[in-house]
């Protein structure tokens, strides 16, 4: 009997799949914006299955635009396929940086969602990430980029909910 009970969480895991994103992350859902010295920042977060779809743009330039689904690793999300790849039946987005593709992933860090990207740019690593944290009625955004040895903060802003 005890053996059967031990199987319950395993069976539940198989039936339910990876855990959905946490409530704090779900609190990011919506349309957000802020005016910054480097231009208008716009963020759209929508539920997408058990994960989220996210679009972040600064001064009209799209920084991140992807859907993320939970993986078997708690709190880690992978980019899901869109367009032709999803039509062809692939769940995962192509993500081999050695073949010129971008590796996009996200992780839940306490109440924040951190979305990251690795690409190989002219043979050197290019890593960017956006940290999103619900702070009261706003979303606190921090954009970082790998410069030399360190992640350097490029922008910090507080985004307010917007109807547009």
How far apart CA 61 and CA 140 sit, in angstroms, is 19
For 16, the token pair is 């339910």
What's the min distance (Å) between Cβ of 164 and another protein? 32
Closest CB to another protein among residues 6, 98: 98
What's the min distance (Å) between Cβ of 35 and another protein? 27
Binding site for another protein (CB under 8 A): 71, 73, 75-78, 92, 95-100, 103, 105-109, 114, 116, 118, 120, 122-125, 127, 144, 146, 149-151
Closest CB to another protein among residues 11, 109: 109
What's the min distance (Å) between Cβ of 108 and another protein? 8
Closest CB to another protein among residues 114, 157: 114
- Who contacts 113 (Cβ-Cβ below 8 Å, separation ≥6)? 21, 25, 28, 52, 106, 107, 131, 132, 133
What's the min distance (Å) between Cβ of 95 and another protein? 6
């Amino acid at each position: 009997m005890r053996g059967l009970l031990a199987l319950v969480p395993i069976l539940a895991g198989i039936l339910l799949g990876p855990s959905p994103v946490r409530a704090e992350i779900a609190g990011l859902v919506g349309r957000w914006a802020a005016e910054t010295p480097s231009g208008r920042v716009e963020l759209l977060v929508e539920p997408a299955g058990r994960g989220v779809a996210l679009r972040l743009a600064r001064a009209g330039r799209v920084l991140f635009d992807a859907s993320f689904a939970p993986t078997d690793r708690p709190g880690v999300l992978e980019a899901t396929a869109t367009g032709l790849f999803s039509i062809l039946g692939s769940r995962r987005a192509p993500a081999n940086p050695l073949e010129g593709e971008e590796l996009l992933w996200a992780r839940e860090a306490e109440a924040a969602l951190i979305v990251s990207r690795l690409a190989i740019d002219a043979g050197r690593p290019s890593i960017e990430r956006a940290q999103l944290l619900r702070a009261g009625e706003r979303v606190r955004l921090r954009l970082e980029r790998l410069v030399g040895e360190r992640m350097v903060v490029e922008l910090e802003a507080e985004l307010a909910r917007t109807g547009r």
